[in-house]
Amino acid sequence: MNVELSQSSLSGTARAPSSKSYTHRAILAAGYSGGALVYDPLVSADTKATMRAVDAFGGDVTDTGEALEIDGFDGEPQIPADVIDCANSGTTMRLVSGTTALVDGITVLTGDSSLRSRPQGPMLSAIEQLDGRAESSRGNGKAPLVMKGPVSGDTVSIPGDVSSQYISALLMAGALTEDGIDIELETELKSAPYVDITLELLADFGVEAEKDGRTFSVPGGQFYEPTDGEYHVPGDFSSISYLLAAGAVAAKEDEELRIRGAYPSAQGDTFIVDVLDRMGADVNWNRNDGILTVKRSSLSGVEVDVGDTPDLLPTVAVLGAIADGETTIVNCEHVRYKETDRVAVMASELDALGAVVEEEEDELTIRGEESDLSGTDVAGHGDHRIVMSLAVAGLVADGTTTIAGAEHVDVSFPNFFEVLYDLGAKIER
């Protein structure tokens, strides 16, 4: 699907979608339990992949319209009857890799061509260290993956700078092993707030886990039991970043854009509020009421370290192309291993729009004072975050910006373009 955007002025109120990160974890945690209700979930292409995985392991997920009603497999995942297709969801594959280590039999995980290109080696190594079987069917450390348990627990050593989701997967599964799991990181942890999300959610499901420097530990023999049998998913700050950015660059003169559902949580992407504030945006956050307000502002370039917040790189790159001065995004090599190489893709697509961009292995520099954005044809590269960030650019670029592959917003923000339209964006499909 192609979407066309023209210069627009926005105002009004939007509600943040629920968090994809929390939804994935809540679905799997409810699967690990005897059963639970998950309220306010993000039902998207990615989270549906996790729902299918829970079903495959012997659970049952039903969307009642008010909540996800999940009958769990009570800590004993069954051998799947078929290959588990994780589609384009890297989070699904990495989290349920931990589940496979609990299964007394073989599980095969696969996905689409993008997912099959992403590295899974550290997780395979971790399961082998636990005396499970973990192989790449093509021998390249990538899916399809062939996994076999059960493991009883032990100590594993893995790198921390490839994906924090390996730590999350091991913590979630480790609570159900006999002996528990200790995870020792060989390198500095990137995307650390995502592990904080996992620790917060585990506590909400009654599971004890802790971190001490580069070591994470979860005792075995535990049970997943959420309070009152239910869990409520918070709003998603990764998605909020596009709405905040849109307001900062395209809100109507002397009016504000309001975003509801922005409650504090362990999400690292709340960092976008600080980034916009440092760039000079008129942004205010009422944390008690969960309301963000933002006005169109004159922005200035800054340096942004995305080591802990890789999903913000596309948003910050677009803001840098609109701001005065130079914006440098540093510590971003790990952002190349997402749905696509987001560093290279943003450099390419912003260049097509007229931005002056310099790409290095671990750094992206955008010279806003030399950039003059003009509408053109750009590609979403099958990546929801690329599509949404380019849409923000399209709100201010001269002429019309056409984004190919816009349907991929279904991964995390299915009604993104409807929300923009309701705020006043000029959009045609």
Select from 313, 301, 204 the least CA-distant residue to 268.
Answer: 313
Cα torsion angle, 177, 181, 107, 84, sign: positive
Select from 406, 429, 399, 384 the least CA-distant residue to 20.
Answer: 384
Other C-beta atoms within 10 Å of 422: how many? 13
CB 374 within 8 A of CB 399: yes
Q: Is 211 annotated as a binding residue?
A: no
Alpha carbon distance 173, 429 (integer Å): 43
3-state SS class at 63: strand
3-state helix, strand, coil in the chain (%, to 5): 35, 25, 40
Given 71, 182, 236, 311, the catalytic residue: 311
Question: For residue 285, what are its two tokens?
Answer: 């956050």
CB 22 within 8 A of CB 201: yes
Q: Is 118 annotated as a binding residue?
A: yes
The phi, psi pair for 341, rounded to 5°, reads -75, 90
Select from 144, 130, 226, 118 the least CA-distant residue to 182.
Answer: 130
Q: Is 21 annotated as a binding residue?
A: yes
Alpha carbon distance 11, 252 (integer Å): 6
3-state SS class at 251: strand
Alpha carbon distance 419, 86 (integer Å): 28
Alpha carbon distance 143, 136 (integer Å): 6
Query: Hey, which bits of 368-425 come out as E strands?
Result: 377-379, 400-404
Q: Is 163 annotated as a binding residue?
A: yes
CB 217 within 8 A of CB 207: no
Select from 340, 278, 334, 339 the least CA-distant residue to 310.
Answer: 334
Q: Indicate the residue type of 195.
A: V
Q: Is 385 annotated as a binding residue?
A: yes
Q: Is 241 annotated as a binding residue?
A: no
Alpha carbon distance 177, 180 (integer Å): 5
Cα torsion angle, 46, 50, 51, 56, sign: positive
Residue 212 a catalytic site member: no
Greatest CA separation found in the chain?
A: 62
**All residues at 6 or more sequence positions from 290 whose CB lies less than 8 Å from its CB, including other chains:** 235, 260, 261, 262, 263
Q: Is 165 annotated as a binding residue?
A: yes
Residues making up the annotated binding site for phosphoenolpyruvate are 20, 90, 118, 165, 342, 385
Residues making up the annotated binding site for 3-phosphoshikimate are 20-21, 25, 163-165, 191, 311, 338
Active site residues: 311
Residues making up the annotated binding site are 20-21, 25, 90, 118, 163-165, 191, 311, 338, 342, 385
